[in-house]
Chain A
């Protein structure tokens, strides 16, 4: 990567505490990623691998039980800002961690202080510099406010437009840009009156309306009908070439990533397994590949010639085995129990030692004992 990244995540850890099981759910466990300006980074991985929590951690939107967020999120957005700023800075003031064997075993946290700090730290970032769209567009829009008003609100909050009529014109412009049919009619409708696809277009319009430097799209196509999905993907591709907004695209659907992403990160068991240019990571046959990535690619319906996958109740073929339990992360490689590439030579290491995220080619990193590369970072 030559340009300095717009967003750089370093060793992000987000843990939830489960009172019932008296254990930490390590939803994000040492994720490091970077996005260059103008680039689309696709984060792909099975459901439960920690993609959403990673995204929510960036914007301080993680809900639920008190837990831990450590690491750094350096963000260089904002016009003429003085270098990147760590969005997670000073959070450690509100927590005291007890570690044992390098693992966090207890947390004492000033929850109100923490929350107030997050709100303050992200006040000028949320929406304005980093906008986010979600899965379930219908429930993600406020059902009590018209679609148009929700978009105008984003315009008025973040673009310096204060006149209601001008904000409305801009909002209508965005509705047109996301190819909403009859925008003037939709403007005054409530989300309830719109289809899922239209709601997602409205969400995208709302996110872009504040002209952010980074767009986070968490499963933007999941839960929509197949035809609607491909239309939303086409829209995102179109917007990408038109506006070139830097995007963190999160999806479990590898086809969406392969259509839109420049760089791909493959997540498994709360951490990044492979990270590199899309053509290297996703192109079939290009080596080296992480065994998990190979398995993901092999599970696609279009590569049905491969004998390793099998269909589960008639739906998409899946990778054999259980997704790793982030409460009891196994020793060694997180994927070893499901890995079919383990050789006798490395078996002991796969089961006993977690591989580092090592550089295997320019800009291409991998966490696998098969491809030790030159170790760097973790």
Chain B
């Protein structure tokens, strides 16, 4: 089974890389024109750049060359800076990991209590109010909230100086580190769906016959409802929402000038820095795949019956 999953993962990554590569090659602009900036490059000039760098002229030739490098564990070098892509990703990756996982945590910290509360007090006015609040919050665009927060904290109240994320902020550094997480966690658009799913699943499980049995035998309901009513929907939500969080991270990193992969890929897209874009796309796809593998592992661990399907 593990071998099959690995093969699937490899196939998926291959597919993603091919699609991204084709899109990049179809879109106007040439990565190497960066090197000819300020000139009006003719066809001959481009060809000479390609030749000087030893780059194949057809797109599939370039893709195969890229694949060959990947097979040797080499993500290539940035066309713009000449720095190895792998090193760049390793440097910026943790910042994005922190942002995605941290904001996912914020999302769950918002969604879980509301879901639990409204699953147990479905009819209450407070539960309804909370659900409405969560729904409204989900509708807030992430860039808008980001700018509002920046305006309030930096320009209005001057809590910390305007800075580029690379330098260590002098005051309130921890707060500056928390803001993007909170903004992304609140406004990544998934809070309301996570709440609804958790509440729905928990509510459904609490009416299952086996929960009634647990009550009748005097066992803690939570012990019996935990797996199907909490663990599985949580896993499901985390695995399926990670792509959205990654998408939101690209925006939040722009807004907060956060030195992560999102800002890097944004910059690379403007520069047509293909190796950087490809490298980051690959890492993002691997991350998403990892999340769904984790979900499969948890599902299988919870009940051997599900391991077969």
Contact = CB atoms under 8 A, between A and B. Distances in A.
A140 B217 contact: no
B212 A144 contact: no
A247 interface: no
B45 to A, nearest CB: 66
A160 interface: no
Contacts of A207: 217
A142 B213 contact: yes
Residue from the set A124, A153, A158 with the largest chain B CB neighbour count within 10 Å: A153
A72 B214 CA distance: 24
Contacts of A134: 209, 212-213, 216
A346 interface: no
Interface stretch (A125-133, A171-179, A288-296): A125-133
Contacts of B303: 143-144, 190
In this complex, the member of B212, B214, B218 whose beta carbon has the largest number of chain A beta carbons within 10 angstroms is B218
Interface size class of B (residues with CB under 8 A): 20 to 34
Contact of B305 (A124, A128, A143, A153): A143
Contacts of A190: 303-305
A206 B217 contact: yes
A153 B213 contact: no
B128 interface: no
Contacts of B224: 142, 145
Interface string B215-237: 11111000010011000000000
A131 B216 contact: yes
A157 B212 contact: no
A176 B121 CA distance: 42
A154 interface: yes
B178 interface: no
Contacts of B219: 127, 153-154, 157
Contact of B209 (A124, A139, A145, A157): A139
B215 A61 contact: yes
Nearest to A129: B218
Contact of B228 (A124, A128, A144, A210): A144
A30 to B, nearest CB: 25
B216 A157 contact: no
Nearest to B220: A157
A192 B305 contact: yes
Given A111-B123, A144-B228, A126 B213 contact: no
Contacts, number: 72
Interface string A25-40: 0000000000000000
Contacts of B212: 61, 63, 134, 140
B305 A141 contact: no
B208 interface: yes
Given A111-B123, A145-B224, A192-B305, A128 B213 contact: no
Nearest to A146: B304
A229 interface: no
B305 A127 contact: no
A144 B227 contact: yes
A140 B210 contact: yes
B166 interface: no
A112 interface: yes
B208 A112 contact: no
A308 B228 CA distance: 50
Interface string A58-83: 01010100100000000000000000
A61 B305 contact: no
Given A132-B213, A142-B213, A190-B305, 18 more contacts: A61-B215, A111-B123, A123-B218, A124-B218, A126-B215, A126-B216, A126-B217, A127-B216, A134-B209, A134-B212, A141-B210, A141-B213, A142-B214, A142-B224, A143-B303, A153-B217, A157-B219, A206-B217
Interface of B: 121, 123-124, 207-210, 212-219, 224, 227-228, 302-305
10 A-B pairs closest in CB distance: A127-B218, A127-B217, A126-B218, A132-B216, A139-B209, A142-B210, A144-B227, A140-B209, A140-B213, A192-B305
13 contacts: A59-B216, A61-B216, A66-B123, A125-B218, A126-B217, A136-B209, A140-B209, A141-B210, A144-B303, A154-B217, A190-B305, A203-B213, A210-B217
